[in-house]
Structure 1
């Protein structure tokens, strides 16, 4: 059975890029969200195997959403996505329970490596 992934990013273009990488490599993208609040709702609804989460988003940022998701499921697997130069946020994300992070612009091999490593 293919692994089910929720893609969260406020930029539709970024969601499309990551979705493209995942589906071409046999993963099933079960949902998308454009902000952290939507991400938490979709997580409850879809129960994905993994979430890719942008850090900087409107409504609720990725780190807050990550904490909310981990309250719902302490074993949730979340891979954070951030633009260059957000090292402090990446550290916050890891401390909040993120399993890995990917830097934008996305490189397909790095995205897949993070996902495969996180899903074990």
Structure 2
């Protein structure tokens, strides 16, 4: 069972992602509401996969990806961006993100991306 860390400032999005993940056989090991906490929790737990929002307080998703990659260059991170943030997706991939999703996305697409990395 793959372990997942969810990093998103929106409680509703964290709840939604957790439900989808658990329903599809993933184990959510933690959630973080900003990039700084996400990096800290990644370092403590070393999950198999991280889902990372781009726009968050304290530290945005791109900065968090860069710090996580310093901890583990092999980290698997899926960036999740809102419509209109596509220009940030390129930055996220250059920072080391493994893949990305643009909100809104279907459950099937989310699981497909998770299984692809």
Alignment TM-score > 0.5, same fold: yes
The residue aligned with 1:54 is: 53
Q: What residue in structure 2 maps to residue 15 of structure 1?
A: 14
Say whether 1:39 aligns with 2:38: yes
Shift of 1:104: 1.2
Contact kept? 1:18, 1:106, Cα under 8 Å: no
Taking the TM superposition and a 5 Å limit, the aligned residue runs for 1:100-111 are 100-111=99-110
List gaps (5 residues or longer) in structure 2. none
Q: Output aligned runs, 1:41-120, within 5 Å.
A: 41-118=40-117
Q: Report the RMSD for the aligned CA atoms in angstroms.
A: 0.6
For residues 43 and 113 of structure 1, the distance between their equivalents in structure 2, rounded to whole angstroms, comes to: 23
Extract structure 1 runs of 4+ deviating beyond 3 A. Answer: none
SS of residue matched to 1:111: helix
Query: TM-score of the superposition, structure 1-length normalised?
Result: 0.96
Give the total of aligned pairs. Answer: 117
Residue of structure 1 in register with 2:24 after alignment: 25
**What does residue 4 of structure 1 align with?**
3
